[in-house]
Structure 1
Amino acid sequence: MKKNSVKAVHHLVDTYPKVPLTVDCVIFGFEESKLKVLLIKSDLAFFQGKLSLLGDFVKNNEDLDDAAYRILKERTGMNNVFLDQVKVFGKPDRHPGGRVITIAYCSLLNIQHHALNIHENELDWYDYDALKEMAFDHLEIVEECHSWLQKRIQEHPLGFNLLPDKFSLRELQNLYEAILGVSMDRRNFRKKFASMDLLIDTNEMEQDVSHRPGKLYQFNFEKYEKKKRKWIGIDF
């Protein structure tokens, strides 16, 4: 590279705006018919005692996706969680230290299948419905990711990964009501899923339950994949 070109590059680097970049992970879980979020207590004095998302700065030589998985691993010890990039948040006053842009990543997982190996800063699962105030703009980020999740679960069978291999329609409805935040008519809900023809009747009943035992079903993932290919025009 010519000397003038090198000087031009250095000038560009020196004058280019430098805005810190972070990643925040919004991890939703489902337990005891409640939607929960994995959170920690903020370690900044400015937000002392307030709940915060799992986040950190992106390293200069780090890909955004790599940063998200690194942060999740460092904060929780989990490394088998799939993350989706949801949205960028960049209001000038969102961070007390100055302008910081963050990229939100989201996941929905079965709490029973993902043990927390780290418990620093009171890392734990918190009820989504009980969240009132959080550090930074993290409550806004959680709300945005919840809206994204509500849309996703109506388009894809994400929720079935949160249920036992064999589940009742009562458990299925509890899951959808917890994520969508609405009460559903029992008859209409069951009629809708019956019309989708994606449930397999196991010919088994619930055991040791306090209510009237219901039938147990399994989700037909193979049939769903075939239907999905038809919907998008690639049936083969």
Structure 2
Amino acid sequence: MTEHREKTRMLVAVDCIIFGFDGEHIKILLIKRGFEPEEGKWSLMGGFIEAHESLDEAANKILFQLTGLKGVYLEQLHAFGHPDRDPERTISIAYFALIDILKYETKLHENYHAEWFVTTEMPELIFDHNEMVEIAKQKIRYKAAHHPILFELLPKKFTIPQLQSLYEGVYNTRIDNRNFVRKLSSTGLLIKLEEKDKSSSRKGAFYFKLDKKKYKSKFQAFLNLVPNAEDLID
């Protein structure tokens, strides 16, 4: 016990990297830090883990505080523990979340001075939060190549152009429409609806919804929607 008392005490925190999709762009939710150090600068939403909490419980609590949402896709990403990452010795466990922006409670903007940024236009973040975001982007690209997790970012009904924009945003590239539609059709994951979205053209685009039964059964299977050489547009 004496040996334990002589060890340096460390704080353990959780930081949440929250991604959303507005139908055109991948976005990230950031807050204005309300205390020193780095007060007034942009930051991920985070907090310290209470003695009675597990890591997942703490992450879900932070996510709910900022978005008002429960039961969304949330995955532990990585541990960050460089001695100089925070003025006070702190280890952070980062999580990333995928949410439908349309379900986000906008009134929480005021509570935390939160704002959505397009991921390619986000400001510089405090400490090592930029590194956290980059690692999260890489993990999502990898996961999306094996599992249909990007559907977590979509509303209940969506169009094929919206889904293509989502994949293009995640992989930061343009995809050939015909190859994308062909691959998408082969998955059998979508149900075509009678309703159309006519907001962008007179002809409109049919809405689709996810076949949740097939989604669950195919979640561990490879979903080959990831752009490869034949899909890319110069």
Place the TM-score, normalised by the shorter chain, in its bin.
0.7 to 0.9
Q: Cα offset for 1:106? A: 1.1
Amino-acid identity (%): 35
One-letter code aligned to 1:186: N
**Structure 2 CA distance, aligned partners of 1:229 and 1:173?**
21
Paired letter, 1:225: K
Which of 70, 93, 108 in structure 1 is aligned with 2:98? 108
Secondary structure at 2:143 match in 1 = helix
**Is the contact between residue 90 and residue 100 of structure 1 (CA under 8 Å) also seen in structure 2?**
yes
Q: Between Structure 1 and Structure 2, which shows a larger proportion of helix residues?
A: 1
Mapped to 1, the partners of 2:55 and 2:221 lie a distance apart of 33
Please report the TM-score for the alignment, with normalisation by the length of structure 2.
0.82
**Alignment partners' CA distance in 2, 1:197 and 1:77:** 32
Which deviates further from its counterpart, 26-35 or 205-214? 205-214
Amino acid at match of 1:189: F
Cα deviations across residues 174-226 of structure 1 (Å, max 9, x unaligned)? Answer: 11112222111111111211222322333554334336423333322323434
Q: Give the Cα–Cα distance (whole angstroms) in 2 for the partners of residues 139 and 220 of structure 1.
A: 36
Computing the radius of gyration from Cα coordinates, the structure with the larger value is 1
The answer to whether the 8 Å contact 1:39/1:124 transfers is yes
SS, match of residue 149 in structure 1: helix
Contact 1:78/1:117 (<8 A) preserved: no
Task: Select which of 62, 70, 84 maps to 2:75.
Answer: 84
Counterpart of 2:22 (choices 13, 31, 36) is 31
What is the alpha-carbon distance in structure 2 between the residues aligned to residue 80 and residue 226 of structure 1?
19
Is the Cα–Cα contact under 8 Å of residues 77 and 116 in structure 1 kept in the other structure? no
RMSD over equivalenced CA pairs, Å = 2.4
Greater displacement, 160-169 / 144-153: 160-169
Answer 1 or 2: higher relative contact order, Cα 8 Å, separation at least 6.
2
Q: Could you tell me how far 1:98 is from its partner in structure 2?
A: 3.5
- Structure 2 unaligned segments of length 5 or more: list them: 223-234
**What TM-score does the superposition give when structure 1 sets the normalisation length?**
0.81
